[in-house]
Amino acid sequence: MATASATDFTTTATNLFSSLTIEDKEKKFETFSLLWLDRDMNYTSRNWKTQKKLRESINYFKRFNNLSTCEKWIRQRQIQDEKVILIVSGAYGKEILPNIYQLPQLVGVYVYCLNKEIHEKWAKNYKNKGCEVIINSDELIAKISKDQKDRQQFENAATSMSTASVSSSNASSGLSTQENSSSELNGNFLWSQLLIQVLLKMKHAVNDRQELINICNETSTMQDIDTLIAFRFFITDLYQQLQSEANDDDNRTPTVCVFRDQLRSKDELDGMKLIIRKYLLLNSCLSTTLNQKVAFNFISNVALATNDLCRVVFEIDIDPSLINVEPYADISLQSFFQQEAEILFMLGSIFKINEIKTRTDCISVIKLHLAGINNNPELQDLTDYMNKNLGEKADLTSLGAVLKGMDKYDQAKKCYERQANEMDYKNPIEVVCRYTELGNVAYAEGKHVLAIFYHETVLKLFQSSVNGEEIQANNYNNLGLAYNDNGDYEIALSCCNKTLNIYKKMYNNDDDNLEFAHVYFNIGLTCLL
C-alpha cells in the first residue's frame, strides 16, 4: 500500500470532492411559485411594474420564453412538493396545457392574451385548474391577488399530518417480519418520526444560530430536509422548553380535552373517515385551545373560499397520566392572546382517530386522543425499528441509511451530501465512508455511471494512504455491481476478482466465510450476462 502524508491525503480528498457533480437544485423556500411563460416576453416598464405587483401576492416569480424548459421545470416541482401558478400567453397556453393540466402541483392557470374570445374556446377545457382568460394587466393582478389569498388561507389552515398503516383491530396488519416493518409502515409516518428524532439528538455546532438566521432572512416557509436541519437549533430549543413546562407541576393543566379549528378539503376529510382508529402524526407544532367556544365560534365565521373546503374542529382527549409522549404544555402566559388558553403540542406528536361526526351546522368534529409511540403494542414495530436503527447516537448518516432502506433515495442523498460537505478531510475513513454512501445511493437509483464515479473516487483515495482491506474489498464489490448493471461485464468481472483476492488474503484462503459466497454469486451473475 502506498503511503502519503496527512497533508497529501487532505489535498487529494479535497480536490476529488470539488470535482464531484453533486446535483445543485435551485433553492427556494416558498410553497407557491408564479411562472410567466411567453415566447415574446419583453421587459417594458409596464411589464416590469406588472411583475412587481404580482410578486406582492406570490414572492417567487420566474419567467420563461421556452415551452419545453418551462414544462420540465413544472414537472420537477412534483418531487419537491411545491404548488405552481402559471401565467401563459394564448399561443403557448394552447400548446402546454394539454401536457401539464393533470399535474397535481399545477393549482392555477391564467391565460394572458390579446384576444379573449378566441382563447376562451379551448381554455374552457381546463376549468378544473381555475383557468381564466384575461386581457388586462390590472385585471390579471387583481384576480391573482384574490385567488392567492384563498389558496394561502387554505394552506395556512391545514396542519400537515401523515398516517400510519397500523390499526387497533390488527396491530401487525401487513407486517410479516421485523426487517420489513420500515416499508410496511406508512413511509411518511416513519420518515417523520425518524427525522424528528435525529434533529433532536444531533450535536450543535457554534454556527447553528447563524445558519438559522440565514434561512429566516430568506423567509423560509417550505419545510424540506435542508430547511429542517437548519432549524434544528430552534426545534431542539422549543422541545426543551415545552418539556420544561410539561414537567413543571404549576404549569401542568388538569384539563383532558382541547380543540383546534381548521379548514380541510372534502378529499382530506373523506380520507380521514377511512382511517378511523388509526394514527395521525404531526409534521408541525399544533396550537390548540382549552376553550371550546373559541374554536367553534372562530371556524363558524370563516368564509369558505371554494365549495371543496369543509369546516373542521379537532377535539383531542389527553390522558394526563400518559408517559413517553412528545411534550405539550399550556403556554397561555407566553401567548399574545392569553384568553385563548393555548396548549401547544410538539411536532412529532401522535394521535389516534376515534370518530368523526358532522353537526347540523355542517362542522365536522374529529375526535382524537393523544398516543405515545413507546409502550404501545399497536406501534411496537415502529418503536423497535427506531431503537434498532437510530439508538441514542442519531445523526444524518444513520438517518440516510434508514431512508435508503425505505427507498427514499433523494432524501438519503441529501443526508449524505450534507455530511460530505461537513466532513473532516483529515479523517480518511470518514471521507471514504461518505463517498461510498453516495455511491450506494446512486446505484440504488439506477444511476450506474454516477455510482461508478463515486466508487472509483474511493479507490483513488486508497492510493493516497487509506488503510483498510475490508473497506477496499467492499468498494471493489460495489464497483463491480455498478459496472455489471451498466453492461461493462469484463470490468465488472475484474472488480469481483480483486474483491476475491483481498478476501483470500484477509481470511487465509478460508472460503467458508460468507463474504466469499457473496463474491462468487456476483461472479456467477456477471458470467451469465
CA distance 475 to 481: 10
Long-range contacts of 243-247 (CB under 8 A, 24+ apart): 243/327, 245/327, 245/329, 245/330, 245/331, 246/327, 246/328, 246/329
- Answer yes or no: do 45 and 174 share one domain: no
User: Does residue 497 lie within any of the structural domains?
Assistant: yes
The pLDDT value given to residue 51: 80
Amino acid in position 54: L
The pLDDT value given to residue 1: 42
Cell of 496: 469481483
DSSP string, 266-292: HHHHHHHHTTTTSEEEESS-EEEES-H
- Answer yes or no: do 450 and 352 share one domain: no
Instruction: Of 19, 4, 68, 61, give the one whose Cα is nearest residue 39.
Output: 68
The pLDDT value given to residue 214: 56
Amino acid in position 201: K
The pLDDT value given to residue 318: 93
- Answer yes or no: do 115 and 186 share one domain: no
- Answer yes or no: do 113 and 17 share one domain: no
Instruction: Of 77, 43, 72, give the one whose Cα is nearest residue 60.
Output: 77
User: Does residue 277 lie within any of the structural domains?
Assistant: yes
* β-bridge pairing 61-64 and 364-371: unpaired
What CATH number should be reported for the domain holding residue 75? 3.40.50.2300
- Answer yes or no: do 233 and 265 share one domain: yes
- Answer yes or no: do 470 and 441 share one domain: yes
Determine the structural domain holding residue 113 and report its residue range: 32-157
Report the domain count for the chain: 3
CA distance 456 to 419: 19
The pLDDT value given to residue 250: 55
* Separation in Å, CA 147 to CA 50, 121, 160: 17, 22, 22
User: Does residue 405 lie within any of the structural domains?
Assistant: no
Per-residue pLDDT of the chain (529 residues; tens, 9 = 90+): 444 455 555 555 555 554 444 443 454 556 789 999 998 765 555 666 788 788 888 878 888 989 999 999 999 887 556 789 999 999 999 999 999 988 988 999 999 999 999 999 999 989 878 899 999 999 999 999 988 888 876 676 554 455 554 544 433 333 333 333 333 445 566 666 777 777 777 776 655 655 555 555 443 334 466 667 767 778 888 889 999 888 775 555 566 899 999 888 888 899 889 989 888 887 778 889 999 998 998 888 877 766 778 899 999 999 888 877 889 998 888 776 667 788 999 888 889 999 999 999 999 999 999 987 766 776 777 777 776 766 566 778 887 887 887 788 888 888 888 887 777 666 777 788 888 999 999 999 999 999 999 888 888 877 655 567 888 888 898 899 999 998 999 999 999 999 888 888 888 776 666 778 888 888 887 887 6
User: Does residue 467 lie within any of the structural domains?
Assistant: yes
The pLDDT value given to residue 109: 95
The pLDDT value given to residue 252: 57
What CATH number should be reported for the domain holding residue 312? 3.90.176
- Answer yes or no: do 471 and 369 share one domain: no
The dihedrals phi and psi of 398, each to the nearest 5 degrees, come to -65, -40
CA distance 424 to 445: 27
- Answer yes or no: do 141 and 258 share one domain: no
- Answer yes or no: do 486 and 436 share one domain: yes
Task: Check: CB of residue 353 under 8 Å from CB of residue 280.
Answer: yes
User: Does residue 397 lie within any of the structural domains?
Assistant: no
What CATH number should be reported for the domain holding residue 443? 1.25.40.10
The phi-psi region of residue 507 (left if phi > 0; otherwise alpha if psi is between -120 and 50; otherwise beta) is alpha
- Answer yes or no: do 96 and 150 share one domain: yes
- Answer yes or no: do 214 and 363 share one domain: yes
User: Does residue 415 lie within any of the structural domains?
Assistant: no
Q: Percent helix, strand, coil in the chain (nearest 5)?
A: 50, 15, 35
The residues, any chain, with a CB within 8 Å of residue 148's CB and separated by 6 or more, are 32, 57, 58, 85
The pLDDT value given to residue 526: 81
Q: 157, 177, 198: which is the final residue of a domain?
A: 157
Q: 114, 142, 157: which is the final residue of a domain?
A: 157
The pLDDT value given to residue 529: 61
User: Does residue 402 lie within any of the structural domains?
Assistant: no
- Answer yes or no: do 115 and 56 share one domain: yes
User: Does residue 275 lie within any of the structural domains?
Assistant: yes
Cell of 403: 431512508
pTM of the model: 0.60
Q: 139, 157, 175: which is the final residue of a domain?
A: 157
